[in-house]
Amino acid sequence: MILLVDPGYRSGSLPRDEFVLPVVRIVERSGMSWIYRHYDDMDDEEVLDIQGIIICGTALKDNHFIAHVDRFAWLNGAMVPVLGICAGMQILCLTFGGSVKEGCEIGMTEVNVTVPHPLLPPPPSFQAYELHSFSCDPPPGWETLAVSCGCVQAIHDPNRPRFGVMFHPEVRNDRVVEVFLEMCGD
């Protein structure tokens, strides 16, 4: 069971259709079951019975979650693999000691792989869909796996299977999500 966390401004709001449901399609295609939770509705117990967590993205103008990042403190106790996509990567950064700053990218962008990793397409680079108004400074000790001209694009906690990607893998880079799901199935 994969837990899909919606960081959108309201449970079930329009960003869920645009940023969570496309990830649902990939999870279902991979033969895994899933459960949807808005971040406001999370409680610690739910984190115990799942194989992996994906924190999805939200609308470009939606930054409500930044003011409520304390509601993601449960991530500290999550022992299963975690993938943060866009807003999800920003949440991982803020939860584990990194920071976010203004930095906008929209549309297909060249992403350069700095540290080859099975999660990402092979080096030297790949095209990815971007839709973010903030970028990340990774938490201390986390590895930067990929960058664009504008910002850090992929990060990894070397001590735990926690990953963040700033691009949207559900658009033209499904394989990133599929590889993550394979990690959850192991």
Partner 1 sequence: MRLGVLCSGGKDSLYACYRAMQEEEVACLITMKPKNPESYMFHTPNLHLVPLQAEAARLPLVSVHTEGKEEEELVDLAGAISIAAERHGIEGVVTGALMSVYQSSRIQRICRDLDLWCFNPLWYTDPDAYMERLLTSGFRVIVSGVFSAPFDASWLGRELDHRAVKDLNAYVREYRITLTGEGGEYETLVLDAPFFQKRIVIEKSEIHYRNYRGVLDVKQAHLEER
Interface residue list for partner 1 (CB under 8 A) = 12-15, 17-19, 21-22, 25, 59-62, 104, 106-108, 129, 131, 133, 170-172
CA distance 153 to 136: 8
- Between 73 and 104, name the residue whose CB sits nearer to partner 1: 104
* Catalytic annotation, pick one of 86, 93, 136, 184: 86
Judge whether 130 counts as a catalytic residue.
no
- Between 78 and 181, name the residue whose CB sits nearer to partner 1: 181
Q: Work out how close the CB of 164 gets to partner 1 at its nearest, in angstroms, rounded to a whole number.
A: 21
Judge whether 170 counts as a catalytic residue.
yes
Q: Work out how close the CB of 19 gets to partner 1 at its nearest, in angstroms, rounded to a whole number.
A: 8
CA distance 125 to 34: 31
Judge whether 168 counts as a catalytic residue.
yes
Using alpha carbons only, what angle is made at residue 104 by residues 99 and 109, rounded to the nearest 5 degrees? 110
CA distance 148 to 127: 10
- Between 30 and 114, name the residue whose CB sits nearer to partner 1: 30
Q: Work out how close the CB of 69 gets to partner 1 at its nearest, in angstroms, rounded to a whole number.
A: 21
Q: Are 167 and 130 in contact (CB under 8 A)?
A: yes
* 20 DSSP 8-state letter: I
The string of DSSP codes covering 92-157 is HHHHTT-EEEEEEEEEEEEEEESS--TTSPPSSEEEEEEEEEEEEEPPTTPEEEEE-SSSEEEEEE
Helices 21-29 and 174-185 pack at an angle, to 10 degrees, of: 60
- Between 51 and 63, name the residue whose CB sits nearer to partner 1: 63
* Catalytic annotation, pick one of 105, 130, 136, 170: 170
Q: Work out how close the CB of 54 gets to partner 1 at its nearest, in angstroms, rounded to a whole number.
A: 15
- Between 105 and 136, name the residue whose CB sits nearer to partner 1: 105
* 19 DSSP 8-state letter: I
Q: Work out how close the CB of 15 gets to partner 1 at its nearest, in angstroms, rounded to a whole number.
A: 7
Active centre residues (catalytic) = 86, 168, 170
